[in-house]
């Protein structure tokens, strides 16, 4: 059974990310957690929610990292694998990731599985182990400015929860569910003179993929992204033209002249 046998016997080290703000879920080292799929998640159809049990039932603690959920979700959806976990330590700050170990409580049955399906399952398990190993080499870290911004959001929600509508609370809480790249890029842009920025000119050493971060921020309505062919009003168009270099403006002028002469 090889890699499939290891899946059911291993304790896989990972983290809980995207913790809910203002929920007040107590983190206790050694307490159990359950993993459930969240297929209707607007930001990630592969999302796996981490639930913590308390006196009021199960409460959402956060999510598995996106990279791990991408490979673990097909095992749950297609092969009915069941995963549980345990919190291994308590983070210092309320917005830090929570270290956990997860185990496969119920693995797929191999007896009646076709050979092609078995090979696919082995590949999925291999991807899970690779993602776990990558997470150990590059554990989640939080930049100081990112930490401060999240602390401001958390304090605003905690102290003034009654002032926010459900949509506003969801919007603020969605920030911590986004990737580190997206969070860092938003704070970076928020503190710069804008409001328009060229994606091709965005470059920060701590942000691995600015374009992907822009797409995620746009999907969560934290930024508005426009590409070739987008329809803009005159005010937006004027502001965008201010971002172009002289040579780019001259090139546009030449194109417009050719179209007028055609």
Query: CA torsion sign, 200 to 204 to 209 to 210?
Result: negative
User: Does the pLDDT of residue 152 top 70, yes or no?
Assistant: yes
Asked if residue 100 lies in contact with residue 50, where contact means CB atoms within 8 angstroms, the answer is yes
Question: What local confidence, expressed as pLDDT, does residue 195 receive?
Answer: 82
User: Does the pLDDT of residue 91 top 90, yes or no?
Assistant: no
Which of the listed ranges 21-30, 166-175, 219-228 does the model predict with the highest average pLDDT? Answer: 166-175
All structural domains of the chain with their residue ranges: 3-137, 144-219, 232-262
User: Does the pLDDT of residue 29 top 80, yes or no?
Assistant: yes
pLDDT digits (tens, 9 = 90+) for 190-233: 988 878 888 888 888 888 889 999 999 999 999 988 776 666 67
Question: What local confidence, expressed as pLDDT, does residue 55 receive?
Answer: 57
Give the helix/strand (H/E) hosting 60: strand 57-63
Min mean pLDDT across 39-43, 83-87, 99-103 is at 39-43
Residue 2, classified by CB atoms within 10 Å of its CB into exposed (0-12), middle (13-18) or buried (19+), is exposed
Rounded distance between C-alpha atoms, residue 220 and residue 177, angstroms: 10
Asked if residue 212 lies in contact with residue 180, where contact means CB atoms within 8 angstroms, the answer is no
Question: In this structure, which CATH number among 2.40.50.140, 3.40.640.10, 3.40.50.1100, 3.30.70.2330 belongs to the domain 3-137?
Answer: 3.30.70.2330
């Amino acid at each position: 059974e090889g890699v499939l046998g290891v899946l059911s016997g291993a304790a896989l080290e990972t983290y809980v990310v995207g913790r809910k703000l203002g929920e007040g879920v107590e983190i206790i080292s050694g307490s159990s957690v359950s993993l459930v799929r969240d297929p209707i998640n607007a930001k990630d159809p592969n999302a796996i929610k981490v639930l913590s049990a308390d006196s009021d039932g199960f409460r959402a603690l956060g999510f598995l990292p996106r990279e791990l959920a991408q490979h673990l979700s097909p095992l749950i959806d297609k092969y009915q694998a069941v995963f549980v976990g345990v919190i291994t330590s308590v983070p210092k700050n309320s917005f830090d990731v929570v270290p956990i170990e997860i185990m496969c409580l119920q693995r797929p049955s191999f007896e009646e599985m076709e050979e092609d399906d078995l090979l696919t399952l082995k590949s999925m398990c291999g991807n899970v182990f690779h993602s776990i190993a990558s997470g150990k080499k590059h554990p989640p870290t939080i930049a100081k400015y990112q930490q401060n911004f999240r602390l401001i959001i958390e304090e605003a929600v905690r102290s003034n929860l009654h002032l926010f509508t459900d949509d506003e609370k969801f919007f603020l809480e969605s920030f911590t569910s986004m990737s580190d790249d997206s969070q860092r890029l938003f704070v970076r842009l928020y503190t710069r003179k804008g409001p328009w920025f060229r994606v091709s000119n965005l470059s920060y050493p701590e942000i691995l993929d600015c374009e992907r971060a822009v797409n995620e921020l746009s999907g969560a309505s934290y930024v508005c992204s426009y590409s070739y062919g987008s329809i803009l009003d005159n005010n937006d168009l004027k502001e965008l033209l201010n971002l172009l270099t002289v040579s780019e403006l001259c090139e546009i002028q030449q194109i417009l002249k050719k179209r007028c002469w055609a």
